[in-house]
Amino acid sequence: MLTEPVALMLLLSVAGVVLNIILYRLQSLQMIVSFLVFAAMLALNLQLYGTIGETLVLPVVVFGQAMSFAVSPLAFYFTLMITSITLLTVIFSLESLRGKACTQAYYLWLFLKTFGMLGVVFAADLLTFFLLWELMTWGTFFLMQQTGGESFSPAKKYVVYAVSSSMLLFLGIALIHAWTGSFSFREVAAAFPHMPEGMMLLVVLLMTVGFAVESAMFPLHAWLPESYASTFTSLTSYLSGISTRMGIYGLILLLFGFVGHELADRFQLIGVINLRYIVSIFGALTIIIPTFTALFQHDAKRLVTWHGIGQGGYMILGIFSANALGIAGGIFHIFNYMTYVTLILFSIAAVEYRTGTSNLNKLGGLIKRQPVAFLGLLFGIIGLAGIPPMNGFVSKWFIYKALITEGYPFLAISAIIGTLGTILSVYKLIHNIFLGQLQPEYNEIKEVPFLMQLPIWVLMLAVFATGVFPGPILSLIAEIQSSFGLAPVPYTMTGVDPAAGTLDMLVITTVFIGGLLLAWIVFLLGHKRRHVSQYQNYAAGHFLDESIPYNFNYNFYTGFEHIFNPMKKKVIARTEVAVSSLVEAAGDYLRRIYTGNLATYAMYIMAALVVTSLFLKELI
Amino acid sequence: MSTVLWIIFYPIIAFAIGVILLGYGRKFNARVQRRYGPPIQQVFYDILKLMSKRTNISHGWMHDTALVMLLGGTLLTLYFIPVPGFDFFSGYGDFLVVMYILLIPSLGMALGVGETANPNGSIGISRALQMLAGYDIPFALTFIGMAILAGTTNFSEIIALQQAEGIFGWGLMTNPFLGVAALIALHGMMGEKPFEVMVAPHEIATGPMTEMGGKYLGMMMIQHALNVVIELTIYINLFLGGAANWASYLVKLFVLMTLILSVNALFGRFRVDDAVRFMWKVPLVLAVIGVLIIIL
C-alpha cells in the first residue's frame, strides 16, 4: 500500500538535499529552490489529513524489517508543525542570511534535518525510527555549527550527549526486539504488557533517559543553551522551536504507544510514588531551575534557549499527569511553545540584523525604531509567560487544572513558580532591548525588510488566534488521545466543556477588549498629550543629553542576586567539587584498563568479540 | 436584564468603594500619626484634578497604550471576581484565570514605565516584579490548597461550599494555616508597608510613577482604587466565606482594610531582597504546612 503524500514528502526532502548539493555556491538559486520545495511540502502536509491510518512500506529490508511508515494523528500533528515552521524559517532566512558567508550548506542541512524529523514521526517500526533519529541528530549537529569558529565546541558537546542517548535508545530497542521478536510498533505494543517486569523497567528507563537527553530534561540539559545560542538566530528559533521537542515526541510514543499509564503506575516504590511521579518531579525541576537560570543571562538568545529547556518541563508534567486535560495540555503546549518561541527569536533576530548584537546590556529604547519587532516580541512573551489571551495560557491552564484535579499541589505550584520566573525574565528581555533609553549609536536604524516581517506577523496571528480559539488544535489532540485509547479532552471551540472546567477564552478576550475600549475612552477624556524626547526626563534637577547614559539594565534583578548568590556559593559550588572529585576518582580507576601492554589489549578485543557474538545470537 | 445593568454599573460601584477605602486609609494613617487628615472624599478630588490637567507628557505610544492596558486589564479582572448578586462571568473563567489576568495590568504598566526611559521607573518595576515572585508563590499555593480541599477551581462553587456551613465553613476557619499565609501574601500584593518597595518615594522617587503626570497619574489612581477592591475581594471570597449580601460584604471589606492599614502604620520599609526572603520563609512555610494537612 502506498500513501502518496508521505512518499512525496520524504522524497521531496531528499530531493532538496540533492538539489542543494548540485546548486552549491549558487546562493540565490538555492534560496528559491529551497523555498519552493518547502512550500510544496507544506501543501502536501495539508493533504495528509485525509490519509490518517494508512501505511507505506518501502522495499528496503534491514535486519528482516522492511522500512515502514504510517500516518497517525500524532504524526500528522507533528509534521504540520515541522513543515510550517521550516517554511517560516526559510522565508525569514531568505532576507536575513542573504549575502552572508558560509551559508552554502545551510539549506542542505535544513533539508537533511527535516527529512530526519519527518521520518521519525512517520516511522511505523522501531528500526526505521532509530535510523532516522540518528540522521536527525546529525542534522542538528551540522545546523549548530553554521556560523563556524566558536560554535564548533558546543556542537561537539551536543554530539557527545546525542550519541550516548542514541546508544541507550539502541540498547532499549535491542532488548525490545530480543523479547518481542519484532520491530513493528503494533506488535511491540501488543507484546509489551507481557514482558517480565524487570526487563520492562529497564527498557522504559533506557528509552526515557534517551529521549530526555534530546528534550533537554533536567539534569541532562547542559548541552542546549550554548549550542543553540551560538548558531544563526533563525536556526536558534528553528532548533528550539521544533528540534528539542522530538524528545517529547519519543516520550509520548513510549508512554502511550507502548507502556500506557496503567503499566507505568505498576512500578510502585513507596505509597503513591511511582515511576510516573518521579518523571514528573524531574519535569518540575526542569521548569524551575532553567527558568531561574534564564533570569540572570546577559544575552537575549541564551536567555530564550534556557526557557526552551524550562518549557519542556510543562509538557512533561502534562503528559505524565494521567488526566485527559493534562495530557491534552502537554501536547497542546508543544504547538504553543513552537509558535511563541520562534516568534520571540525571530524578533530578536530582527534586532540583531540591524544592530549586530543580542547583548542585553548594550541595547535599549529600540521600540521607536523597530515597532514591528517590538510587537512580535510582546506577543511572544505574553505567550511564553502564559498570560491571557495568548495561546501559552490555554495549555498551561490545562496543566495546572489537571495537576490540581489529580491532587498534586507541589507539582502545580512548581508550574506556577516557573510561570512567575518566566514573567520576570521576559520583562527583562523586552525592557533591555526595546524600552529604556535609546543608545545614540542606534539612532539611525530602521525596521527590517518585509520578508523578515512576514513570519513575525504570521506567528503573531497564530499566537493570538490559537489563544482565543484553541478548538481546532484541540480537536486534533482529541484525535491523538483517542488513537492511543485515552479519554479525549472535553473541548469546545473556545475552551473546555463546562462540565470539565471553567474556561472560555472568547468571553475572556471579549471582556478584555471591552475593558480596553472603556479605558481608552477614559484616556481620551483628559486633555491632549504632548510628546517629549527621552532627554526631557526627571533627573533630580540634573540636565540630560546624549552624553549621559541614563539607563537601568545591567543586573536587572539585584535583589534576587542577593538571595541566590550565597545559595549558589553554598550548594552549587560544593556539588561541583563533589561531582568533579567523583569523576576524577572514577577516571583514575578506568585509567588502569589502559595498561599499555599489547597482550592485555588483545585479550580485551577477544572478550568483546565473545560477548558480542553471544549477544548477537540472542538478538537475531 | 439585571446582568446588563450590573455590567454597566459595577465598575462605577467598585470605583466608589475603592475611592472611599483609599480615603479611609489616608484618614486612618493621619489619626495614627495624630493629624486630622484630609476629608474622606479627597482621593476623588485628586483624581478629578489630575484628569483635568492641561499638561500631559507622553514618551511614546507604548506609554499611552500602557495606561489603557492597565485600566482595561483591571476592569477585566473586576468582572471575573464574584460579588453578592453578580457572578455572571465566574462561569467562564475560574480562579486560575483570575490569577493570570491580574498580571495583565502589571505587564501593561511595566511596559509603559519602561518606555518613559527613567531609571527610577525601571528600578521600581524590577522591584515590583521581584515582589510579585515573592508574594505570588505562597498565595498560589494557598489557592491550590483551597481548590484541592473544595474539589473545584471555580470561584462561585468555593464560595457556596464555605457559606453552606456558616462561619465555621470559612476557609480561614477550616484551614487557618492557609488563611494566615494568604493574609500575609495579600499584604505584599497590596504593596503596603513593610512591602512598599515598589513605590518607595524616598529611595527611587515613587518608582513607576516618576514620569507619570496629569491624566496618566489620574488613570493610575483610578486603577489603584479598583485594584484595592479586587485584591480584598479575592481574599474575602477564598477565606472569609465570600459574602451573602452587600452589607456583610462591605463590613468584611472595611475590617480587612483596617487590619492591613494597622500593620502598614506600624512598619518601615523592607529592602527588596529581605521582603522576598520573608515571603519565601513565613507565608510559604505556613502554606506548605496547610497543604500538607489537606493532602495527608
Asked if A529 lies within 8 A of B147 by C-beta distance, the reply is no
Instruction: Classify burial at A362, counting beta carbons within 10 Å of its beta carbon; exposed 0-12, middle 13-18, buried 19 or more.
Output: middle
Q: Is the pLDDT score of A264 beyond 70?
A: no
Q: Is the pLDDT score of B28 beyond 70?
A: yes
Mean pLDDT score of chain A: 84
Residue range A359-381: mean pLDDT, rounded: 88
Quote the minimal CA–CA distance from B154 to chain A in Å.
7
Residues A124, A129, A135, A141, Cα dihedral to 10°:
120
Contacts of B54 in chain A (CB under 8 A): 527
Nearest Cβ partner for B144 among A413, A438, A540 = A413
Q: H/E/C letters for each residue in chain B?
A: CHHHHHHHHHHHHHHHHHHHHHHHHHHHHHHHCCCCCCCCCHHHHHHHHHHCCCCCEECCHHHHHHHHHHHHHHHHHHHHCCECCECCHHHCECHHHHHHHCHHHHHHHHHHHHHCCCHHHHHHHHHHHHHHHHHHHHHHHHHHHHHHHHCCCCHHHHHHHHHCCHHHHCHHHHCHHHHHHHHHHHHHHCCCCCCCCCCCHHHHCCHHHCCCCHHHHHHHHHHHHHHHHHHHHHHHHHHCCCCCCHHHHHHHHHHHHHHHHHHHHHCCCCCHHHHHHHHHHHHHHHHHHHHHHHHC
Range of weakest confidence among A47-61, B26-40, B219-233 = A47-61
pLDDT tens across A515-564, in order? 899 989 988 888 888 888 888 888 887 888 888 778 888 888 888 888 88
Contact B275, B129 (CB under 8 A): no
Residue B257 pLDDT grade (very low, low, confident, very high; cuts 50, 70, 90):
very high
Report the alpha-carbon distance of residue A225 to residue A234 in Å, rounded.
15
Question: A396 to chain B: nearest residue by CA?
Answer: B96
Mean pLDDT score of chain B: 87
Asked if B129 lies within 8 A of A534 by C-beta distance, the reply is no
Asked if A385 lies within 8 A of B73 by C-beta distance, the reply is no
A116 contacts: CB under 8 Å, gap ≥ 6: A132, A133, A134, A135, A136, A137, A138, A139
Report the alpha-carbon distance of residue A573 to residue B79 in Å, rounded.
49
Nearest Cβ partner for A504 among B59, B92, B122 = B92
Single-letter amino acid code for the residue at A590:
L
Quote the minimal CA–CA distance from A536 to chain B in Å.
9
Among A239, A216, A385, CA closest to A309: A216
Question: A518 to chain B: nearest residue by CA?
Answer: B72
Judged by DSSP in three states, A535 sits in: coil
Contacts of A553 in chain B (CB under 8 A): 122
Nearest Cβ partner for A365 among B100, B117, B272 = B117
Q: Is the pLDDT score of A3 beyond 80?
A: no
pLDDT value, residue A280: 87
pLDDT tens across A196-255, in order? 777 788 888 888 898 988 888 888 888 888 888 888 888 888 888 888 889 899 988 888
Range of weakest confidence among A147-151, A159-163, A406-410, A433-437 = A147-151
- Going A471 to A475 to A481 to A485, the CA torsion angle's sign is positive
B259 contacts: CB under 8 Å, gap ≥ 6: B183
Question: A510 to chain B: nearest residue by CA?
Answer: B76
Report the alpha-carbon distance of residue A291 to residue A419 in Å, rounded.
9
Residue range A23-45: mean pLDDT, rounded: 81
State the distance between the two ends of chain A, measured CA to CA, in whole angstroms: 27
Among A209, A475, A229, A162, CA closest to A335: A475
pLDDT value, residue A619: 53
Q: Which one of A417, A552, A558, A562 would you mutate to disrupt binding with B, by most B Cβ within 10 Å of its Cβ? A: A552
Judged by DSSP in three states, A485 sits in: coil
pLDDT tens across A381-437, in order? 999 988 888 888 999 999 998 888 888 888 889 999 999 999 999 999 999 998 888
Among B137, B86, B135, B88, CA closest to B249: B86
Domain boundaries, chain B: 2-295
Angle (CA) A416 A421 A425, round 5°: 145
Which residues, listed in sequence order, are joined to residue A495 by a DSSP beta bridge?
A: A492, A504
Asked if B153 lies within 8 A of A537 by C-beta distance, the reply is no
pLDDT tens across A474-514, in order? 888 988 888 888 888 888 888 887 777 778 888 889 889 99
Report the alpha-carbon distance of residue A439 to residue A454 in Å, rounded.
27
pLDDT value, residue A409: 86
Report the alpha-carbon distance of residue A206 to residue A212 in Å, rounded.
10
Q: Which one of A273, A529, A545 would you mutate to disrupt binding with B, by most B Cβ within 10 Å of its Cβ? A: A529
Cis peptide before A449 (omega within 30 of 0): no
Beta strands in A10-64 (DSSP E): 55-62
Q: Which one of B8, B120, B130, B276 would you mutate to disrupt binding with A, by most A Cβ within 10 Å of its Cβ? A: B130
Q: Which residue has the higher pLDDT, A620 or B200?
A: B200
Contacts of A511 in chain B (CB under 8 A): 75-76, 79-80, 89
Inter-CA distances, A113 with A139, A145, A160, A526, B219, Å: 5, 14, 18, 57, 52
Length of chain A as a residue count = 620
Inter-CA distances, B74 with A554, B7, B188, Å: 31, 14, 18
- Answer yes or no: is the ipTM higher than 0.95: no
- Is B65 touching A (CB cutoff 8 A)? no
Asked if A508 lies within 8 A of B126 by C-beta distance, the reply is no
Asked if B93 lies within 8 A of A401 by C-beta distance, the reply is no
Residue range A265-289: mean pLDDT, rounded: 79
Nearest Cβ partner for A559 among B117, B125, B130 = B130
Inter-CA distances, B5 with A608, B10, B85, B89, B248, Å: 83, 8, 12, 14, 22
Contact B66, B219 (CB under 8 A): no
Contact A287, A552 (CB under 8 A): no
Q: B residues 143-172 near A, CB within 8 Å? A: 144-145, 147-148, 153-154
Identify the residue whose cell numbers are 472603556.
A518
- Is B142 touching A (CB cutoff 8 A)? no
Q: Is the pLDDT score of A1 beyond 50?
A: no
* C-alpha cell of residue A590: 578506568
Cis peptide before A389 (omega within 30 of 0): yes
State phi, psi for A158 to the nearest 5 degrees.
Answer: -60, -45
Contacts of B144 in chain A (CB under 8 A): 404, 409, 412-413, 416
Residues A281, A283, A288, A293, Cα dihedral to 10°:
130
pLDDT tens across A325-341, in order? 888 999 999 999 999 99
Task: Tell me, rounded to whole angstroms, the distance of Cα B187 from its chain centroid.
Answer: 9
Count of CB atoms situated within 10 Å of the CB of B238: 27
Domain boundaries, chain A: 336-526+549-556, 566-619
Nearest Cβ partner for A511 among B79, B215, B294 = B79
Q: Which one of A379, A416, A439, A503 would you mutate to disrupt binding with B, by most B Cβ within 10 Å of its Cβ? A: A416
Count of CB atoms situated within 10 Å of the CB of B254: 15
Q: B residues 223-242 near A, CB within 8 Å? A: none
pLDDT tens across B96-153, in order? 888 888 889 988 888 989 888 888 888 889 988 999 888 999 999 998 888 888 888 8
Nearest Cβ partner for B295 among A400, A409, A519 = A409
Identify the residue whose cell numbers are 518607595.
B200
Report the alpha-carbon distance of residue B158 to residue B170 in Å, rounded.
10
Q: Which one of B273, B278, B289 would you mutate to disrupt binding with A, by most A Cβ within 10 Å of its Cβ? A: B273
Nearest Cβ partner for A507 among B89, B125, B132 = B89
Asked if B271 lies within 8 A of A423 by C-beta distance, the reply is no
pLDDT value, residue A314: 92
Residue A456 pLDDT grade (very low, low, confident, very high; cuts 50, 70, 90):
very high
Report the alpha-carbon distance of residue A526 to residue A514 in Å, rounded.
19
Question: B102 to chain A: nearest residue by CA?
Answer: A387
Residue range A450-467: mean pLDDT, rounded: 90
Nearest Cβ partner for B60 among A368, A516, A553 = A368
Residue A616 pLDDT grade (very low, low, confident, very high; cuts 50, 70, 90):
low
Interhelix angle A391-405/A371-385, rounded to 10 degrees, is: 10
